[in-house]
Structure 1
Amino acid sequence: METLSNLEAFVRSAESGSFSEAARRLGLTPAAVSRNVAILERNLGVRLFYRSTRGLKLTEAGESFLGSVGDPLDRLQGAIAAVTAHGPKPAGLLKLSMAPSFGVAHVLPLLPGFLAQYPLIRAEWHLENRVVDLVAEGYDAAIGGAIELSPGSVARTLAPLHVVAVAAPDYMVGRTAPSDPAGLADLDGIAMRVLRTGRIRKWTMRNGAGREMTAALAETIVLNEPSAIREAARLGLGVALLAVAEVLSDLEDGRLIRLLPDWYADAGGISMYYSSRSLLPAKTRAFIDWIDAAFREKRLPERFSGHPARPRLGDV
C-alpha cells in the first residue's frame, strides 16, 4: 500500500507542474518530493511524469492515475483536517531560534498578533547566530538562511536570501559608483570574517542577463557580525555586502543606498526549519502556517528580493 506522503507528492506535483512548487505547498524540499514520486513510480512499475528543464508533464498513465486518486486524496485530507480541528487547541511553550538582527526586525514585531490569535501559546524565542540541533536542544523550530538540513528535519522557504552591495549616501559623495562587482575594489570595503571557518566571506554576484562575477570587496574593515557590518556602513566607513532582509529598512528610509542595482548574490532562502512534518504539535503547526501567511501578507518575499527586475528605493 502506498503511503499518503507519496500520493500527496504526486498529486501536488501534477497540479503545479513542478517539484519545487509542490515542495513549497507541502513544506518539504524539492528533493524530498522528487524522491517520493520516484518511489511511487517504482512501486507502481510505471512512469507518471515526463521530466524536463521546463517542468513536469503527466504521462498517459499519470493522467489516468491522477483521475483515480486526486479526489479520494482530497476527501481523505479533509477528513484528517476535520478530526484535527476537534483536537487540542495550540498551546504550550514554543521554543524558537533565529538570528538576532533578523528576528528583531522581521519576526518579533509579529509576536503580538500571533499571541492574540493563540493565547494559550507561550513564546520562548532565542536570538542567536548559530545553527541549533532542533531535537537535541529541544527547539520546536528555527528560522535561518542556507542551513544544511539534518536527517529528519524539514524546511519551508519563507523568502529569498539575496545579498546586495550597500553604502551610506554620504560615503558616496564625490566617489564614482562602480559599474560591476569588480569595481568595488576601488572603494573601502567592510568585509565579514566567518568565525566557523576563519575565512573572509566571498560572494559571486549575478545580473539579470545571467552574467556572474566575483565581488572584489576590499578588506578595509573586517567584522564578524552582520548587524555590526550594517552599522559600520551606516557610519560611512565603506561598502558592505549584506542580505536585503538585513538592510531593508535602511534602503527604504535612505540611510543606505544600493550600489550595483543590476547585481545580487543568491545565498538561497530564508526558511523555517522543524524536525518532522508528520504529527507536529498543534502549537508548531499553528506557528509555521501563521508565519508563512504573515510574510506573504507583508510581501516580504518580494521585498527581500535583490533581483534587478524589481526596482528598489535607494538604487544607484
Structure 2
Amino acid sequence: MDYFASVRAFTRVVESGSFVKAAASLDLPRNTLTKQIQALEAHLRTKLLNRTTRRVSMTNDGAAYYERMSRIMEEWEEVESELAHAQASPRGRLRVDMASATATQLVIPALPAFHARYPEVQLDIGVSDRPADLVSERVDCVVRAGKVADPSLIARHVGDLPFVTCATPAYLKKHGTPAHPADLESGHLLVRYFFSGSGRQLPVELTRDGERLTVRGKHFISVNDGNALLAAALAGLGIVHTPAFIAQSHIDAGRLIPVLEDWSADVIPISIVYSPNRHLSTRVRVFVDWMIELFRNKQQSS
C-alpha cells in the first residue's frame, strides 16, 4: 500500500464530500481511489467512512483520524512544496574548501555568474592548500587536485590541470635559458612547491618522445601555497613548474616566459569531493554542476 497516497485520498474524500469529486481532483479513476481507501481501512483495521449512494460521512474513528492526519498531510505537502521550490531556487549556506590559487584565479572571478544564477545561495569559501576534513570541519565539498585516496568519499572529476615551466625575462637573462631538463640540475634555481602536512615536494617530471626525467634541482625557496609560488617566480627567484592557469595571464603579458616547451608534464586531475549522502542538498549539487561547467569552459577556451 502507498500509505501517503491512501491518506491523501481519504482526506480529499472528506473535504470534497464525494468519491467522484475527490477522484477528479486527484486525477485518478474512481476505482483506484476506492481501492486506496479500502487498503487504508484494512491497514488500520477500522472503518473510516460510511458510504451510501447519496452521501459520504465519517465514522467516529474516521473523524478522529481525519482531525490528526489532515494537519500532518498539510505539513507533508508544505514540505514537498518547499523542497520543489528549493530544487528550482536553491538557498542557504554552502561551505566549500579549495586551494588558494584555484579560488583566487579560477573560481572567485567567475562567481558573479553563479550568484546571478543562484542568488539565494551563500558561499563560505575556505581558501587553503591544506586539505580540509569534510566531517570535522563541517565542509560541504572540497575542490582537490590529484587522486582522491579516501574510498569513503565521492569524487566527481571536473577537469585536468596542464603544467607549464617558466621564469621571468630577468632571471633567464641572468642564468640563461635551459635547453634540456638536465640543465635545471646545475646553474639554475627552482621555485618549489611542498605539500602541507607531509612536507613532500611536488615532483618536476618531464617527458618527450618516451623519455621521462625527474628534476631534482636546487631551490632557494619552497612554498606550500599556489599564490606564493607564483609570487616567488615573478620575483625572479627561480624557474617555476606550475599549473598553466596560474601563470597564463603573466605569460600573455610577458612577465613570465615558458621554457622547455617541447617537454610536457602529466596533467593533474581536479575533483570536487563530498561525503556520500543519499539526500545531497540542492545547493551542493548545483555548485558541483557549475564547477564542472566552469572547468569545461576554461579548458575549451585555453
Q: 1:194 to 1:258 in 2, by over 3 A?
A: same
Partner of 2:132: 132
Alpha-carbon contact 2:100-2:226 (below 8 Å) kept: no
How many Å separate the matches in 2 of 1:195 and 1:95?
21
Task: Work out whether residues 191 and 222 of structure 2, in 8 Å CA contact, stay in contact via their aligned partners in 1.
Answer: yes
How far off its partner does 1:300 sit? 2.9
Checking the alignment, whether the CA contact within 8 Å between 1:160 and 1:301 is kept in structure 2 is: no
Q: Using the alignment, how far apart are the partners of 1:178 and 1:222 within structure 2?
A: 20
Deviation of the 1:231 alpha carbon:
1.2
Per the alignment, do residues 286 and 255 of structure 1 end up closer, same or farther by CA in structure 2, a change over 3 Å counting?
Answer: same
Let me know the Cα RMSD of the aligned residues.
Answer: 2.5
CA displacement, residues 279-306 of structure 1 (integer Å, 9 cap, x when unaligned): 3211111111112112223x33663xxx
- After TM superposition, the score normalised by the length of structure 1 is 0.62
Count how many residue pairs are aligned between Structure 1 and Structure 2.
Answer: 219
**Superposition deviation, residue 259 in structure 1:** 0.8
Alpha-carbon offset, residue 195 of structure 1: 4.2
Secondary structure of residue in 2 paired with 1:220: strand
Structure 2 residue matching 1:105: 3-state secondary structure = helix
The alpha carbon displacement at 1:99 in A equals 1.0
Matched, 1:187 2:161: no
1:280 is paired with a residue whose SS is: coil
Looking at structure 1, the residues matched to 134 and 300 of structure 2 have their Cα atoms a distance apart, in angstroms, of: 25
Separation of aligned partners in 2, 1:302 and 1:110: 14
Cα 1:248–1:277 shift into 2, 3 Å: farther
1:300 matched to 2:299 = yes
* Percent identity (aligned): 29
Equivalent pair of 2:153/2:276 in contact (CA under 8 Å): yes
- 1:139/1:182 Cα in 2 relative to 1: closer, same or farther (>3 Å)? same
User: AA paired with 1:182?
Assistant: A
Alignment correspondent of 2:215: 215
| Equivalent position of 2:112 in the other structure | 112
Deviations 1:215-273 (A, max 9, x none): 24222333343322221211222211212122122222221111111223325212211
**C-alpha contact 1:191 1:218 (8 A) present in aligned 2:** no
Q: How many angstroms does 1:199 deviate by? A: 4.1
Q: Larger radius of gyration, structure 1 or 2?
A: 2
Q: How far apart are the structure 1 equivalents of 2:278 and 2:300?
A: 26
Cα distance in 2 for partners of 1:301, 1:266 equals 19
Structure 2 Cα separation of the partners of residues 274 and 136 of structure 1: 13
The amino acid of 1:187's aligned partner reads H
Corresponding residue SS for 2:230: helix
- Which letter does structure 1 place at the counterpart of 2:237? L
Is contact 1:154–1:274 with CA below 8 Å preserved after alignment? Answer: yes
Q: What is the aligned partner in structure 2 of residue 247 from structure 1? A: 247
Normalising to structure 2: TM-score of the pair? 0.65
Corresponding residue for residue 32 of structure 2: none
Counterpart contact for 1:192–1:222, Cα < 8 Å: yes
- Confirm or deny: 8 A CA contact 1:191 1:217 kept in the other structure: no
Distance 1:106 1:160, change over 3 A: same
Q: What is the match of residue 274 of structure 1?
A: 274
Task: Give, as a single letter, the amino acid of the residue that structure 2 aligns with 1:289.
Answer: D
Ranges in structure 2 where 5+ consecutive residues have no aligned partner:
1-80
SS of the residue 2:245 aligns to: helix
Work out whether residues 219 and 238 of structure 2, in 8 Å CA contact, stay in contact via their aligned partners in 1: no
Separation in structure 1 between the aligned mates of residue 111 and residue 205 of structure 2, nearest angstrom: 35
Shift of 1:87: 5.2
Q: Does the C-alpha gap of structure 1 residues 93 and 161 become closer, same or farther in structure 2, counting only changes over 3 Å?
A: same
Is contact 1:158-1:301 (8 Å) kept? Answer: no
- For 2:144 and 2:202, the matched residues in 1 are separated by 17
CA drift of 1:125 comes to 0.9
Q: Are 2:130 and 2:196, in contact at CA under 8 Å, matched by a contact in 1?
A: no
The aligned residue for residue 257 of structure 1 is 257
Matching residue's letter, 2:228:
A
Q: Quick one: distance in 1 between partners of 2:300 and 2:269?
A: 10
Deviation for aligned residue 1:85: 9.3
**What amino acid maps onto 2:219 in structure 1?**
E
Contact 2:158 2:292 (8 Å CA) reproduced: yes
Q: Quick one: distance in 2 between partners of 1:238 and 1:218? A: 10
Counterpart amino acid of residue 133 in structure 2: D
Q: Structure 1, residues 179-199: CA drift from partner, whole Å, max 9, x if none?
A: 221111232222334442334
**Residues 80-111 of structure 1: CA deviation (Å, up to 9, x unaligned):** xxx99945231111110011122011100121
Structure 1 residues 90 and 149: CA distance shift in structure 2, 3 A: farther
